[in-house]
């Protein structure tokens, strides 16, 4: 008889997903809003962390979340990851709605607390952050580099697919790198942001996009559909592609035992 005392319950997993997504969004979007452009010092040098710092914030917060709550929920913290893992046969489709809701709630709570901090910040800081889109994703006039809708679509599909292919490779129970998986995944998210922040402020995560668009104003909300639909498309494509290319028939690791119990 198996020991069930250490088996995470569904509630445990959903709370872990919410907390992990909260950490990811709070740390990375907080870095983007509070520290990316902090002005210049008395000698004229920049005091902000810039694109590199924000990219590292995304990778480091994800890495921390994976090692903290990954053992409980699998450490998705991203609807596109959940969809991709389900498409690859690594996660039960029936459990995806709960994970998606937990991720969206965690992300929204993170930006809400950033707003709360902003309310007690310097006069005009919060209004300026919201006028600037609140670090939301965007294309056209809302793109940091002026890239259009087509560029945002291609970037979100491509970079999300790359992200999922790395995740599926390093977390394979027989071929994966076990304890180093979180490091590889965090570094991958860092390089994705380094490459794509100028295109559309980098989503590859609908929960992150929803969380910032809530406070980003009409333009951010109007373009949000792109950053929900196409990261999910990229995740699904990567999941199906990985399963077809790298998993021989019958070799897909089964869902955890508790997920198979009816």
- Look-up: residue for tokens 């950053």? 227
Task: Give one word for 143, left, alpha or beta, with left for phi > 0 and alpha for psi -120 to 50.
Answer: beta
Ranges of each domain in the chain: 10-36+45-256
Give residue 175's pLDDT: 78
Q: What would the two tokens of residue 216 be?
A: 């980003």
Q: Please list the rounded mean pLDDT of every run of 10 residues in the chain (262 residues).
A: 67 98 98 85 73 96 97 97 97 98 98 97 94 97 97 98 97 81 96 97 98 97 98 98 82 43 29
Q: CA dihedral defined by 233, 70, 191, 214, rounded to 10 degrees?
A: 60
CB within 8 Å of 20: residues ≥ 6 apart: 65, 66, 68, 69, 70, 73, 75, 76, 77, 106
Burial class (CB in 10 A: 0-12, 13-18, 19+), 127: exposed
Give residue 255's pLDDT: 47
- Look-up: residue for tokens 């089964």? 254
Q: What would the pLDDT profile of 65-85 be if each residue is shown by its tens digit?
A: 999 999 999 999 999 999 999
Give residue 82's pLDDT: 98
Task: Compute the 3-state secondary structure of the chain and give helix, strand, coil in percent, each to the nearest 5.
Answer: 70, 0, 30
Distance between CA 46 and CA 61 in Å, rounded? 24
Query: Residue 48: how many CB atoms within 10 A of its CB?
Result: 15
Give residue 36's pLDDT: 87
Phi, psi of 204 (to 5 degrees): 50, 15
Distance between CA 62 and CA 187 in Å, rounded? 9
Q: Structure pTM?
A: 0.91
Phi, psi of 50 (to 5 degrees): 65, -165
Give residue 6's pLDDT: 79
Give residue 42's pLDDT: 63
CATH 1.20.1080.10 fits 10-36+45-256, yes or no: yes
**How far apart, in Å, do the first and last CA atoms of the chain sit?**
17
Give residue 177's pLDDT: 74
The angle subtended at Cα 27 by Cα 191 and Cα 21, nearest 5°, is 85
Give residue 38's pLDDT: 76
Nearest to 87 by CA among 183, 193, 167, 186: 167
Give residue 252's pLDDT: 53
């Amino acid at each position: 008889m198996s020991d069930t005392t250490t088996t995470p319950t569904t509630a445990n997993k959903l709370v872990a997903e919410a907390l992990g997504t909260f950490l990811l969004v709070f740390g990375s979007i907080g870095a983007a809003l509070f520290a990316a452009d902090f002005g210049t010092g008395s000698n004229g040098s920049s005091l902000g962390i810039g694109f590199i710092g924000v990219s590292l914030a995304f990778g480091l917060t994800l890495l921390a979340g994976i090692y903290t709550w990954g053992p409980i929920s699998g450490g998705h913290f991203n609807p596109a990851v959940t969809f991709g893992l389900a498409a690859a046969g690594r996660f039960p489709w029936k459990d995806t709605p709960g994970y998606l809701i937990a991720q969206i709630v965690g992300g929204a709570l993170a930006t809400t607390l950033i707003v709360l901090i902003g309310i007690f910040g310097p006069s005009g800081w919060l209004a300026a952050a919201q006028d600037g889109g609140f670090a939301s994703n965007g294309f056209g006039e809302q793109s940091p580099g002026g890239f259009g809708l087509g560029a945002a679509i291609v970037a979100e599909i491509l970079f999300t697919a790359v992200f999922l292919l790395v995740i599926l490779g390093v977390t394979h129970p027989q071929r994966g790198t076990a304890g180093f998986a979180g490091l590889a995944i965090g570094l991958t998210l860092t390089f994705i942001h380094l490459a794509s922040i100028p295109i559309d402020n980098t989503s590859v995560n609908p929960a992150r996009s929803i969380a910032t668009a809530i406070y980003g104003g009409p333009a951010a909300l109007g373009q949000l559909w792109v950053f929900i639909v196409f990261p999910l498309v990229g995740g699904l494509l990567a999941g199906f592609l990985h399963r077809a290319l790298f998993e021989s028939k019958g070799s897909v690791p089964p869902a955890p035992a508790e997920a198979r119990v009816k």
